Amino acid sequence: MVEKLYYHDSYKSSFSAEIVDINFANGYYEVLLDETYFYPESGGQPADGGFIDGIKVENVILRDDKVIHVLKTAPKNKFVNCEIDWEKRFDNMQQHSGQHLLSAVFYKLFNAETESFSIGRDSSHITLTNSNLSEDNIKEVEIETNRLIYSNLPIITYFIGNEELKRLPLRKKPKVDENIRIVEIKDFDYSPCGGTHVKSLGEIGIVKIKKFERTKKGLRIEFVCGFRAFNDYLKKNNYINSLITSLSAKEEEILEKVDKILDENKELKKELIKLRDNILQYEAEKLIAESINLKNFKLVAKIFNDKDMKELRTLSQIITKEKGIICILCSTTNCGNIVISRSDDVDVNINSFFKTILDVIEGNGGGNQKTCQGSGKIDNLDLALDKAISLISNY
The answer to whether the beta carbons of residues 47 and 37 sit under 8 Å apart is no
Instruction: Using DSSP bridges, classify how beta strands 325-331 and 298-304 pair: parallel, antiparallel or unpaired.
Output: parallel
Helix (H, G, I), strand (E, B) or coil at 127: strand
Give the CA dihedral 75, 77, 81, 87, nearest 10 degrees. 0
Cα–Cα distance for residue pair 376/363, rounded to 1 Å: 4
- pLDDT number for residue 259: 93
List, in order of start, the domains of the chain with CATH numbers: 3-84 (2.40.30.130), 90-234 (3.30.980.10), 283-393 (3.10.310.40)
- pLDDT number for residue 1: 57
- pLDDT number for residue 92: 97
Single out the residue of 282, 390, 391 nearest to residue 290, CA to CA: 282
Phi, psi of 197 (to 5 degrees): -140, 160
Chain centroid to CA 198: 29
Q: How does pLDDT run along the chain (395 residues), one tens digit per residue?
A: 568 999 999 999 999 999 999 999 999 999 999 999 999 999 899 999 999 999 999 999 999 999 999 999 999 999 999 999 999 999 999 999 999 999 999 999 999 999 999 999 999 999 999 889 999 999 999 999 999 999 999 999 999 988 888 889 999 888 887 889 999 999 999 999 999 999 999 999 999 999 999 998 899 999 999 999 999 999 999 999 999 999 999 999 999 999 999 999 999 999 998 998 898 899 999 999 999 998 889 999 999 998 999 999 999 999 999 999 999 999 998 899 999 999 999 999 999 999 999 999 999 999 999 999 999 999 999 999 999 999 998 88
Cα–Cα distance for residue pair 265/285, rounded to 1 Å: 30
- pLDDT number for residue 66: 94
The answer to whether the beta carbons of residues 367 and 327 sit under 8 Å apart is no
Helix (H, G, I), strand (E, B) or coil at 181: strand
Q: Count other Cβ atoms within 10 Å, centred on residue 4.
A: 20
- pLDDT number for residue 162: 82
Cα–Cα distance for residue pair 57/47, rounded to 1 Å: 10
- pLDDT number for residue 140: 98
Intra-chain end-to-end CA distance of the chain, in Å: 86
The answer to whether the beta carbons of residues 159 and 168 sit under 8 Å apart is no
Phi, psi of 148 (to 5 degrees): -65, -35
Residue-by-residue DSSP string for 70-117: EESS--S-SEEEEEE-HHHHHHHHHHHHHHHHHHHHHHHHH---EEEE
Cα–Cα distance for residue pair 307/311, rounded to 1 Å: 6
